[in-house]
Amino acid sequence: MTNLELILLKITIGLYLVSSLWLAGGFIFNREKLRKFFALPVLIALAAHTAVIIVRWSATGHGPVMKDYENALLGAWLTVALYLLLVFKWREMAVIGIVIAPLAMLLLGYAFMTEPVLERLSPGYKSFWLYVHVFTAWLAFGAYAIASGFAVAFFMRGHYDKKSVQTKIPELSELDLTAFRIVLFGFILHAIMIAAGSIWAAKLWGSYWSWDPIETWSLISWLCYGIIIHLRLAFAWKNQRFAVMIMLALVTVIIAWLGINWIPSSDHVFSKLE
């Protein structure tokens, strides 16, 4: 990691912390002045985040797809970018930033602790399908994270309703429906991620599917969201039950990602791709 990248990364983490406090202050304490410019701190943080990726890309000669640090860098960026795209269209959805900004900060904090070194793209990573695999994986994660943000907003809205406090948080029915649509979007991307990963694996290891622990856990995570979608469509599981399920399901996605280097027998351990 270059000194410039290190400085920019620390600034980015600090800006996401400021964004988290800004958003929390605006919505939890119902501060109109903070809510009015909700996108400003997040947008500044994303700009600094983009600069980190550009500096990294310039130094390594490839996109951020190698190992934990670069994956976290890309994943946090896509999650925040999806959030901003959503709220620029529906400003009333800004409340979900209470989840997104801290999540981005934690992802980058974890990445910073992985001792990122500058490396050229190793042979195992030189595949078009790898980029599809990584990009759709993190887009799916971003969608699931945003859906969890809607779940948190759902409970916040219910809390305000009980106390008859005026709030800028959307109605419960709108939060519930939008969360479902985003989960469905993530589920489709998740399926593409698994398919692209299988094609990449066939070229790298000679097999489309080997029941590798990480492959298996990713499939379990996808099936969890599939069950949630089924319960929604077939049995009309909505509102509070749906909100709880999508928050719990996000844990399976986080475990699938963090578990990569915790399972030495996995083919997904990055040192095996050199």
Mean pLDDT, residues 136-144: 94
Q: 68: closest CA among 116, 101, 103?
A: 116
Task: Return the minimum-mean-pLDDT range out of 32-41, 84-93, 149-158, 200-209.
Answer: 32-41
Classify 164 as helix, strand or coil.
Answer: coil
Q: Report the number of distinct structural domains present in the chain.
A: 2
Do 2 and 131 have their domain in common? no
Amino acid at 41: P
Task: Name the band, by pLDDT with cuts 50, 70 and 90, for residue 43.
Answer: very high
pLDDT in tens, 162-194: 776 657 778 888 899 999 999 999 999 999 999
Residue 22 lies in domain: 1-117
The two structure tokens encoding residue 84: 């901003």
Do 105 and 206 have their domain in common? no
Do 150 and 250 have their domain in common? yes
CA dist., res. 166 & res. 159, Å (int): 11
Q: CB-based contacts of 253: which residues, under 8 Å, 6+ apart?
A: 140, 141, 144, 221
* Helix boundaries (H) for the chain: 3-28, 32-36, 39-60, 67-89, 97-112, 128-162, 172-205, 213-235, 239-258
Do 35 and 48 have their domain in common? yes
pLDDT in tens, 201-251: 888 778 888 777 778 888 999 999 999 999 999 999 998 999 999 999 998
Q: What is the CA radius of gyration of the chain?
A: 19
The two structure tokens encoding residue 53: 């990726």
